[in-house]
């Protein structure tokens, strides 16, 4: 049996991982705590660790995992900005789930957008109090509006298909445009200037961190709606608050937040929220915040578990090679694996 420490375990995670783990010979040690320098010792005696978006896989943590004999870090998500991949190179192999259900995330982005512009959240709260007034519930049609999609990977392209179904005009920006896709690509500044709605679907890197900041917002249309189901740090939270307060940003739909690590995925209803930016955002009537749930569908959970288990099995059965490895050999991480058919080191 391959022993795997499973950090930040939740009730909705475990059934699928137990199912596929039992089928493939992986014994999961489920831990409620997140991975950090303080909890890394809980992985002692394990061959692998399985982590999620808010686990801290820093230089210190990686070095300690290496010291206690862990061979592989298996991310049960696509993003890896919480992992020091460079530090892991030469020590511990890192794998991820590049796609689980892009439909889940794209559909959630559209659900947030529709809820916001048609004031469904307000109507829901009103009718529960038997208030059936329509005052203040006027929205606008999506048909004919221009949406700017930043990032045209699988999720971005599915959202584009959904938006085209609504009769929207779609423009997009991506550092690596999809060839022969029929997508209308424009420079980023042009996307800011033309879009009625902007939806983010790009990874978090040094180049994309805070790409939506005061300067970017200043270039946008007055009343723009911003949707983020990707990574919280793509948006500078304080700049977004200022944009909303100045009425430059008409609405924000957020499934992620930059400082979510110690807030999201837990019940904080009995506590005072010690985050002024998030508190201000949640208090605004034109802001919708969900708790990083865009991925959370039955189909996605099954796919995440199956792919993660297969990644671990592939690593141990194929002399350290896994198609979903994140490699730092050439510094390109994801691009690198597309050009090779061998393990990273």
Q: Which residues contact 184 (CB under 8 A, 6 or more apart)?
A: 170, 171, 172
Residue of 96, 157, 201, 292 marked active site: 292
3-state class (DSSP) for residue 140: coil
Q: What is the DSSP string of 17-65?
A: HHHHHHHHTEEEEE-SSPPSTTTGGGGTT-SEEEE-TTS-B-HHHHHHH
Q: How many other C-beta atoms lie within 10 A of the C-beta of residue 16?
A: 20
Query: What is the rounded CA–CA span in Å between residue 118 and residue 79?
Result: 31
Q: Are 177 and 157 in contact (CB under 8 A)?
A: no
Cα dihedral sign for 98, 104, 106, 109? Answer: negative
Nearest alpha-carbon partner for 236 in 224, 226, 247:
226
Q: Is 259 a catalytic residue?
A: no
Query: What is the rounded CA–CA span in Å between residue 159 and residue 167?
Result: 13
Q: Is 86 a catalytic residue?
A: no
> If you ran DSSP here, which 8-state letter would residue 83 be given?
B
What are the tokens at 54? 């808010």
Residue of 107, 260, 306, 325 marked active site: 260
Q: How would you classify residue 193: left for phi > 0, otherwise alpha for psi between -120 and 50, otherwise beta?
A: alpha
Residue of 119, 157, 201, 231 marked active site: 231
Q: Is 260 a catalytic residue?
A: yes
Q: Which residues are catalytic?
A: 231, 260, 292
């Amino acid at each position: 049996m391959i022993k795997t420490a499973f950090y930040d375990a939740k009730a909705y995670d475990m059934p699928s991982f137990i199912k596929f783990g039992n089928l493939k010979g992986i014994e999961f040690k489920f831990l409620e705590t997140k991975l950090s320098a303080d909890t890394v010792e809980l992985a002692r005696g394990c061959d692998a660790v399985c982590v999620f978006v808010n686990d801290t896989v820093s230089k210190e943590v990686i070095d300690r995992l290496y010291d206690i004999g862990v061979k592989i870090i298996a991310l049960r998500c696509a993003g890896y900005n919480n992992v020091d991949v460079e530090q892991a190179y030469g020590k511990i192999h890192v794998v991820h789930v590049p796609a689980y259900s892009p439909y889940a995330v794209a559909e959630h982005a559209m659900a947030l957008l529709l809820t916001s512009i048609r004031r469904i959240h307000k109507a829901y709260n009103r009718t529960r109090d038997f208030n059936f007034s329509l005052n203040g519930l006027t929205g606008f049609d999506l048909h004919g509006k221009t949406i700017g999609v930043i990032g045209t990977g699988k999720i971005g392209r599915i959202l584009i298909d959904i938006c085209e179904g609504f009769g929207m005009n779609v423009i997009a920006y991506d550092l690596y445009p999809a060839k022969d896709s029929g997508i209308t690509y424009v420079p980023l500044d042009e996307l800011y200037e033309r879009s009625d709605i902007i939806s983010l679907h790009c990874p978090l890197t040094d180049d994309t961190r805070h790409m939506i900041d005061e300067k970017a917002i200043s270039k946008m249309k007055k009343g723009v709606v911003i949707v983020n189901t990707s990574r919280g740090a793509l948006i500078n939270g304080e700049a977004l608050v200022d944009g909303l307060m100045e009425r430059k940003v008409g609405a924000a739909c957020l499934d992620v937040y930059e400082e979510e690590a110690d807030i999201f995925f837990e019940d904080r209803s009995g506590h005072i929220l010690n985050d002024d930016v998030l508190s201000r955002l949640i208090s605004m009537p034109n802001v919708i915040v969900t708790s990083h749930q865009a991925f959370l569908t039955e189909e996605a959970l099954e796919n995440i578990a199956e792919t993660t288990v297969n990644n671990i099995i592939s690593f141990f059965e194929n002399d350290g090679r896994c198609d979903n490895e994140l490699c730092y050999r050439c510094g390109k991480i994801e691009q690198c694996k597309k050009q090779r058919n061998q393990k990273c080191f």
